[in-house]
Structure 1
Amino acid sequence: MLATSRWVRWAAPVCVVALALALRLWNLGNPHSLVFDETFYVKDAWSLFNNGYESTWPAGADALFAGGNTDIYSTDPSFVVHPPLGKWLIALGMVAVGPGSDWGWRISTVIIGVLAVVLLMLIARKLFGSLTLAVIAGFLLAIDGHAIVMSRVALLDNSVMFFALLGFGAILLDRPWHARRLGAWLDGRRAAGLDPHWGPTLWWRPWLLAAGLTFGLACSVKWSGVYFLAAFGVYTVVVDALARRRAGVSFWASAAVLKQAPANFLLLVPLAVITFLASWTGWFVTRGGFYRNWADSLGAAWTGPLAWVPHSMQSFWHYQASAYTYHVGLATPHPYQANPLTWLFMIRPTSMYYAGTSRGENGCASDSCSAAITSVGNPLIWWAATAALFYLVYRLARYREWRVGLIMMGMVAGYLPWLMYPNRTVFQFYTITFEPYLLLGITFVIGLSLGLSPGVRTRRPDPIQQTNGIRLVVVFLILALLISAFFYPLWTGMQTSFTFWQLHTWMPSWR
């Protein structure tokens, strides 16, 4: 019996991972062309690998690259506004499989997407203390269309999501570590008859160091990773203050802000900055990168108190300032741009690829056919998770449950900063960075229905209610799976009849 139970504990997560891998690998090479922003990141990745910096390409390079003519990059630098790490990861896949292979372009993103499913299950297991809820969370990420699409195209956002989720996991593990160390220190002081006053400054917090590293990795893919570093940096100070108050520390608030917060800053930020700088190693050790020699030009170098700063760092700072100016000022109209206020409701998903054909063309058996890659999520999962999010806001206000607060902090870091840029050109697919927290939120609500959520202030359901809750959850999961099967052709570029494609445009804005 024990062996059977152990087998089930392993089999369920393994099946979820296998499902995620299959859905992301099937027909990965379709289409054999650079889709959407792959035109930037794939070519940048290959020139970065070969030159140490992103280079320019000739006109018509996309078709030539897809045709196997991949070494047509120049040595002239290209102005790119995203850090290099995500492109290095794409390049690793190209080195392993071949730069002319569509699998080579996308395999790294697939691996990251599957690892994210594994990581989400591990986090949910630790957060909720339930293997069932962990498997449900992983299953929802495995079958959701938005996560599938973002794991099948060579874009950067999937990597931001993964590294930020790693940081989230580190913050989760820091909570009990900090509580144990704080409790042990206070017990020792009180045993000696001493008033703890402010409490200690805890310097050895390895999970905060891990969070600094992983949030730094997120920043090294896209600048938006800094929002996770900042949000969870503030979160640790708040959590430390509340822990001291619960422990009976007299000056708990000032202790957290004045004593522990500087230590937390030094544990998180310097390592994140070092990680970010390390990701630019190729730019620093070569001389051909964009703005690499800016400070060497006449009259450009800094003067006065900062004149001692090496020219390489002055040039780097100038590059980052230029990239920031580009980011905040980007307002180029795009047919698939989406206002962040609409993201949670999935009003304008991003079309990554679309090809229309007529009967007899490329095997089309209907009067007209469509092949599409659209990053629309599973509507049932997405809208149910959004409803759960609003419910979690209510629960946090009423019960102040720490699990809910931690999940909501992930949403704050991944979503709220985009509301500061209402005029910037942004897209629905950016939501992949906070989708894991949406799914943790709905998993928490599912746990309430099943009576599995630990430490919640709610009456335990009676057997009839629990049975009804189980039935409701099972029906929800089955419907979610069926809807994913229905939408899967539109997530993977399969050729279908135009009528079939139209059946999936549930809103006019999905066209």
Structure 2
Amino acid sequence: MRIRARAWEWIAPVLVTVLAALPRLIALGRPPELAFDETYYVKDAWSLWNLGYEARWPDDIDAAFAAGDTQAFTSDPSFVVHPPLGKWLIGLGMAAFGPGEPAGWRIAVALAGIAMVPVLYAIARRLSGSVVVGAVAGGLMAIDGLGIAMSRVAMLDGFLALFVLIAVLFLVMDHEGARRRLQAAQGTALGPVLWRRPWVLAAGVALGAATAVKWSGLYALAGLGLWLVARDALDRRRARIEGWLPSAVVRQGPASFLLLVPVAAATYLASWTGWLATAGGYDRQSDPNALVALWNYHRAVYGFHVGLSTSHPYESPAWQWPLLLRPTAMWTDRPDVGQASCLGSDDCLAVITSLPNPVVWYAGMAALIVLAVALVRTRRTRFAVPLVGVGVTWLPWLLYPERTTFQFYSIAMLPFVCLGLALALQYLCREREPVLLPDPTADERALAVAHAGRQRRAWMVASAAYLALAGANAVWFLPLSTGILEPYRLWYLHMWLPGWV
């Protein structure tokens, strides 16, 4: 039995990773043209790869680019509003597979989407102590429509989500060692200042990389940094360290800041090496000092982001994301009637939309409430991890209600929604203490124990049935994340809410 358990430690993450790879890699070259914001990121990535900075392209070049005219960029700089790391990664895939190959545009994004699944498995496995819970969290992510769609279109948000998730894994790994060291100092006046924390340094690198993809990575850096301080405070309190709060905030807080933030800043700055090392980038000549010129560029980008309020048919403010009111249709293809046939119909439609599995998403929102209650009742910090993850990837967007935002930004939330759901199911299926009357008889005790056992079995059966429903629903919605051509009437049956059309 022990050998079998050890085998599943390896088999489970491999299986969920393969499950993630299939819908993300098969027919990755479809659609054969630039879809949605690929028109910016793919072309920027290729000019960045060739010049070290993003350059301008001729107008109306998309069709020619998709047909193989990939060298039409000029040497004039283009004003781009996102840092370069995500585009470097897209450019790496293009260099490896060819810039004229649609699968080459998307391979880096697809691999990032696949990588999120074993990372999420590792987090869930460590927090829960269960291979099954890890497999549930990873499996839900592997087959989710939003996760699949954002792995099949060359955009930046998948990279951001991956790096934030990796940072959370590193902080979870740090917690194990930090907690042991604080317990060893139990009863001391202020406790130690923990400097030897390589996983915090690694988290800083990951969060710097997230910020180097999109500036919203700064939210995660700030939020996870505050969580690190709060977690240290709770661990010091549990270790009965006198003055645990000032010790965590005044003594350990600055040390944690120095471990986390400078390495994140250095990672972010390193992503701009191409711009710094060349002379042609936007605003590069605004000052003889390259770093001052970079600061000037950042001021211009900040002004753009602050003032971004352009109306868009698929815009969705952050308060709508938990309700799934307006997913983003990133690509559509509706051949002329009679020009295509699918399942016996000549009126067909293909789409790629940022719609998560609604059975998982809505249940995940409820699961976060369950975890909040469980956190208050049990004070187990593992229940806080999904709440913190959703908090740092969603709550900051609520501060900008006028800014143009989209549902697909929630890809950074998705892993924590799946994690929260898996942990909530484990909590609901836990072994329960029997509820006993004062001075119970032997029969009353036996009945209470049997009732507690029936409760647990009922939750386990309900959880299994729910997971089967979630899997079936993922298959039902799969065409909407992969661009599979289907009859229009069948597509319309997927439109559960008016804003999905």
Using the size of structure 2 for normalisation, the TM-score is: 0.93
Aligned counterparts of 2:307 and 2:228: Cα–Cα separation in 1: 32
**Counterpart in the other structure of 1:62:** 62
SS of the aligned residue for 1:357 comes to coil
> Residue 327 of structure 1 is aligned with which of 281, 287, 305?
305
Structure 2 residue 462 is the aligned partner of structure 1 residue 472: yes
Deviation at residue 31 of structure 1 after TM alignment: 0.9
- Paired residue for 2:234? 242
1:451–1:461 CA contact under 8 A, matched in 2: no
The residue aligned with 1:503 is 493
Q: Which residue is 1:391 aligned to?
A: 370
**Alignment partner for residue 248 of structure 2, among 238, 250, 256?**
256
Residue aligned with 2:287, SS: helix
1:468 to partner: Cα distance:
2.0
8 Å Cα contact 1:349/1:374 also seen in 2: yes
1:265-304 counterparts in 2 under 5 A?
Answer: 265-296=257-288
Match of 1:201 among 189, 193, 197: 193
The CA deviation string for residues 265-296 of structure 1, in whole angstroms up to 9 with x for no partner, is: 11011000000000000000000000001124
Distance of 1:247 and 1:44 partners within structure 2: 52
Q: Please give the alpha-carbon distance, in whole angstroms, between the structure 2 residues aligned to 1:335 and 1:178.
A: 48
Q: Which structure 2 residues correspond to residues 195-234 of structure 1 after superposition, within 5 A? A: 196-234=188-226
Work out whether residues 163 and 207 of structure 2, in 8 Å CA contact, stay in contact via their aligned partners in 1.
Answer: yes
Letter in 1 for 2:178: H
3-state SS of the aligned residue for 1:415? helix
Q: Which residue in the other structure is 1:306 paired with?
A: none
Partner of 2:438: none
Q: Which structure 2 residues correspond to residues 51-450 of structure 1 after superposition, within 5 A?
A: 51-184=51-184, 186=185, 196-296=188-288, 311-363=289-341, 366-450=345-429
If the length of structure 1 is used for normalisation, what is the TM-score?
0.91
Shifted more, 83-92 versus 3-12: the winner is 3-12
Q: Are 1:359 and 1:366, in contact at CA under 8 Å, matched by a contact in 2?
A: no
C-alpha distance in 2 between matches for 1:478 and 1:148: 19
The C-alpha deviation readout for 1:412-435, integer Å capped at 9, x for no partner, is: 110100000000000000001111
Q: 2:233–2:248: 8 Å Cα contact kept in structure 1?
A: yes
Counterpart of 1:483? 473
Asked whether the 8 Å contact 2:340–2:348 carries over to 1, the reply is no
Q: Look up the SS of the partner of 1:220 in the other structure.
A: helix
Distance in 2 (alpha carbons) for counterparts of 1:166 and 1:67: 37
Give the match for residue 14 of structure 1.
14
CA distance, structure 2, for counterparts of residue 490 and residue 286 of structure 1: 42
Match of 1:456 in 2: none
Indicate how the Cα distance of structure 1 residues 94 and 464 shifts in structure 2: closer, same or farther if over 3 A, else same.
same
Q: 1:502 is paired with a residue of what secondary structure?
A: helix
The corresponding residue for 2:35 is 35
Shift of 1:327: 1.0
- Asked if 1 retains the 8 angstrom alpha-carbon contact of 2:348 and 2:488, the reply is yes
Q: The residue matched to 1:199 in structure 2 has which SS?
A: coil
Seq. identity, %: 45
Aligned residues: 484
Q: What is the alpha-carbon distance in structure 2 between the residues aligned to residue 461 and residue 264 of structure 1?
A: 47
Gaps in structure 1 of 5+ consecutive residues: 191-195, 297-310, 454-458
* Cα gap change, 1:461 to 1:25, in 2 (>3 Å): farther
SS for the counterpart of 1:21 is: helix
Task: Report the CA distance between 1:360 and its aligned residue.
Answer: 2.4
The 3-state SS of whatever aligns with 2:191 is coil
Structure 1 residue 99: Cα displacement: 0.5
> Is contact 1:347–1:509 with CA below 8 Å preserved after alignment?
yes
Structure 1 residues 450 and 398 mapped into 2: Cα distance closer, same or farther (>3 Å)?
closer
Deviations 1:24-44 (A, max 9, x none): 112211110010111110001
For 1:21 and 1:243, the matched residues in 2 are separated by 38
Cα distance in 2 for residues equivalent to 1:26 and 1:452: 42
CA distance in structure 1 between the aligned counterparts of 2:487 and 2:52, rounded to whole angstroms: 45
Distance in 2 of aligned mates of 1:499 and 1:324:
44
SS where residue 352 of structure 2 aligns? strand
Per-residue CA deviation, residues 387-439 of structure 1 (Å, 9 max, x unaligned), is: 11122233334443211222211111101000000000000000011111111
- 1:438-497 superposed Cα distances (whole Å, 9 cap, x missing partner): 1111111110233289xxxxx998332232222212211211111111111111111111
1: CA distance, partners of 2:8 / 2:286:
60
Counterpart secondary structure, 1:89: helix
User: Shift in Å at residue 355 of structure 1?
Assistant: 1.7
SS in 2 for 1:354: strand
Letter aligned with residue 470 of structure 1: M
- Contact 2:431–2:456, Cα closer than 8 Å, also in 1: no
User: d(CA) in 2 for partners of 1:239 and 1:367?
Assistant: 59
Q: Distance in 1 between matches of 2:192 and 2:234?
A: 14
Displacement of 1:47: 0.3
Q: 2:442 corresponds to which residue?
A: none
CA displacement at 1:242 relative to structure 2 = 1.9
Q: Give a deviation string over 1:218-239, Cα, whole Å, max 9, x none.
A: 1111101111110111111111
In the alignment, the residues of structure 1 paired with residue 135 and residue 236 of structure 2 have an alpha-carbon distance, to the nearest angstrom, of: 34
Give the CA deviation at 1:15.
Answer: 2.0
Measured in 1, the distance between the counterparts of 2:241 and 2:474 equals 51
**Which runs of 5 or more structure 2 residues have no equivalent in the other structure?**
433-448
Given that residues 358 and 366 in structure 1 are in contact (C-alpha distance below 8 angstroms), is that contact kept between their aligned partners in structure 2?
Answer: no
User: Given the superposition, is the C-alpha separation of residues 478 and 85 from structure 1 closer, same or farther in structure 2, using an over 3 Å criterion?
Assistant: same
Moved over 6 A (4+): none
1:7 deviates by 3.7
